Amino acid sequence: MTKSETWYKKGLKFSCTECGKCCTGSPGYVWVNTQEMEEMAHFLAITLDEFKRKYTRRVGSRFSLIEMKQTYSCIFLKDNKCRVYGARPTQCKTFPWWPQNISSEKAWKGAAYSCEGINDEAELVPTETIQEQELIQIGRNEDNS
């Protein structure tokens, strides 16, 4: 969708407060491909095999980060902070600019219920940046390696 076709032509308000809520609270998947797992393994100074064994679960032919039982927290969430922030997966980097969150004003308002960084006082993020991030996430969704 081009800039002129979007409903958010002036951009959208968002600044992450680092509350950590998007990393916990409900069951889901944090998909990671081989490159992302290698980067996280490197960040943690362990081997790829060790990374896969300790931190991932297989879902069909794909890998997702382990989530904790009961809290559904990502295994890397500690004291509301991401322990691999510098090497976090694309899915985390592109949040909240996922297609399902920005497809309509209604969807965006819905996303604001679970993300406190989406609010009228937050920074205005330009449309170009949003669309760039959305495209990265779409590419990642299509990549099942």
Contacts with ligand SF4, residue ranges (CB under 6 A) = 16-23, 30, 65, 74, 76-77, 82, 84, 88-89, 92, 95-96, 115-117
Smaller CB distance to ligand SF4: residue 23 or 102? 23
Tokens 């969150």 identify what position?
101
Round to whole Å and give the CA distance between 145 and 140: 10
Smaller CB distance to ligand SF4: residue 5 or 121? 121
Round to whole Å and give the CA distance between 101 and 114: 11
Q: Tell whether omega for the bond before 96 is within 30 degrees of 0, i.e. cis.
A: yes
Angle between helices 34-44 and 48-55 (to 10 degrees): 100
For the bound state, the minimum distance from the C-beta of residue 2 to ligand SF4, rounded and expressed in Å, comes to 26
Smaller CB distance to ligand SF4: residue 37 or 84? 84
98: left (phi over 0), alpha (psi -120 to 50) or beta: beta
For the bound state, the minimum distance from the C-beta of residue 40 to ligand SF4, rounded and expressed in Å, comes to 8
Smaller CB distance to ligand SF4: residue 8 or 116? 116
For the bound state, the minimum distance from the C-beta of residue 7 to ligand SF4, rounded and expressed in Å, comes to 21
